[in-house]
Structure 1
Amino acid sequence: MKHEAKGSSPPAAVSVLFNVTNGEPCVLMIKRAETLRNHSGQWAFPGGMIEESDDSAMHAALRETNEELGIRPSDIDIWCEMPPVDTSTGFKVWPYAGRLTDEVNITPHVAEVADVVNVPVRVFVDQVSRRSITVIRNGTTRKLDAYAYEDRIIWGASARIINNTIDIVMNPA
């Protein structure tokens, strides 16, 4: 499958990684470092731009996950490619859903990752956690879906990716 994005921004790929933490199904998320050019300080999935040296978008997602968190590709069981999501900054992002093996060492690369959290899946299924936020960008006001978890707000492309993932997991064809 060819992974191309419109415009000048290259395509990107992310890993939507499920795991079990304290007996509860969770999704691993990162807070992007404040110093990054795009989506700084936002809660996201590990991943990044697809480079010419990548064999595939999945390879890019695994490579970036390793670079950002030190998680080896052999510690990830990819289940499937999810539908791509467009970001407000022009990226087209291909998410890959999968599961982390039970014994994974996570070592965040501090230049890219400010924090790591395992968000319980119930947060994304429970309507109590859903929010609507207003974002103003380039003079345009938009209402976006979001999720609240503790003191974190997960919104934008990350919220759309998790919506798609949960919908597919909860309503398989």
Structure 2
Amino acid sequence: MNLTINQMEIALMSHSSVDYDTSGVNSPAAVCVLFNIKAGEPCVLMIKRGSTLSHHSGEWAFPGGMSEEFDESPMHTALRETNEELGIDPSDIDVWCGMAPVETSTGFKVWPFAGRVVDQTIFTLQEREVEEVVEIPVSVFVDQMSKRTITLIRNGDTRVMTAYAYEDRIIWGASARIITNTFDIVMNAV
């Protein structure tokens, strides 16, 4: 199925809001699931996290990060971190919705916010935190051929999880769960 950016916007904007209460959460974080149009095709913006970071280094993720005491809300966190990592001004992002948080194996609770970034935005990477930015066609995440099942063994614990393949990249963990949740919302609405 070929999704348009308008179909995704309508589906995600009609998604009911979630609880953004971070009280009692040890490690709250938030990310932006940003859509845009590149070469006439709707895309999702993802980053490769810096290899020297202490958490999730070298992994494919969404722009965002940990909440700070001064953040007014998880959405503020997501927009602030996206600005810090990629130089995208919050006024260049049209937030469509917040989605249910996902938990990471490292103890973070991550609130994702979907929206659209102005097309042809110029990214200014904060190079310590972001090694690469890529705009992945939405069709990759809708196409079942891109889905993979991977097995992760960490500290003697074995977990089987969904992942997505795009070119030479594997997107897994919380990022893959956020992708799955996002496109479940969209596909159930169109």
- Provide TM-score, normalisation by structure 2: 0.87
| 3-state SS of 1:171 partner | helix
Q: Which runs of 5+ in 1 are unaligned?
A: none
Are the equivalent residues in 1 in contact too, given 2:38–2:120 (CA < 8 A)? no
Per-residue deviation, 1:138: 1.2
Deviations 1:97-126 (A, max 9, x none): 000112422111100001000011111110
Q: Does 1:130 align with 2:147?
A: yes
In structure 2, what is the Cα distance between the partners aligned to 1:126 and 1:103?
A: 25
Q: Which amino acid aligns with 1:2?
A: D
How far apart in 1 are the matches of 2:163 and 2:27? 25
1:2 has 2:21 as partner: yes
User: Aligned partners of 1:70 and 1:147: how far apart in 2?
Assistant: 26
Q: Which one of 73, 78, 81 corresponds to residue 56 of structure 1?
A: 73
- Work out the CA distance in 1 between the residues paired with 2:120 and 2:76: 22
The answer to whether 1:65 aligns with 2:65 is no
1:11-160 superposed matches below 5 A: 11-160=28-177
Deviations 1:2-37 (A, max 9, x none): 12464xx42000000000111111000000000000
In structure 2, stretches of 5+ residues that fail to align are 1-19
Report if the CA contact (8 A) 1:5-1:91 is conserved.
no
Between Structure 1 and Structure 2, the one with more helix by share is 2
Identity %: 68
Match of 2:6? none
Paired with 1:30 and 1:170, the residues of 2 have a C-alpha distance of 24
| Counterpart-to-counterpart distance in 2, 1:16 and 1:5 | 25
Distance in 2 between residues matched to 1:74 and 1:133, nearest whole Å: 38
Distance 1:127 1:110, change over 3 A: same
Q: Indicate if the aligned counterparts of 1:15 and 1:45 stay in contact, CA closer than 8 A.
A: yes
State the secondary structure of the residue aligned to 2:189.
Answer: coil
RMSD: 1.2
| Whole-angstrom distance in 1 between the partners of 2:108 and 2:36 | 27
1:130–1:145 Cα contact (<8 Å) kept: yes
SS for the counterpart of 1:147 is: strand
Could you say which residue in structure 1 is the equivalent of 2:12?
Answer: none
1:65-108 Cα offsets, whole Å, 9 max, x none, are 00000000000000000110000101000000000112422111
Deviation readout 1:117-157 (Å, 9 max, x if unpaired): 00111111101111011101110111110000000000000
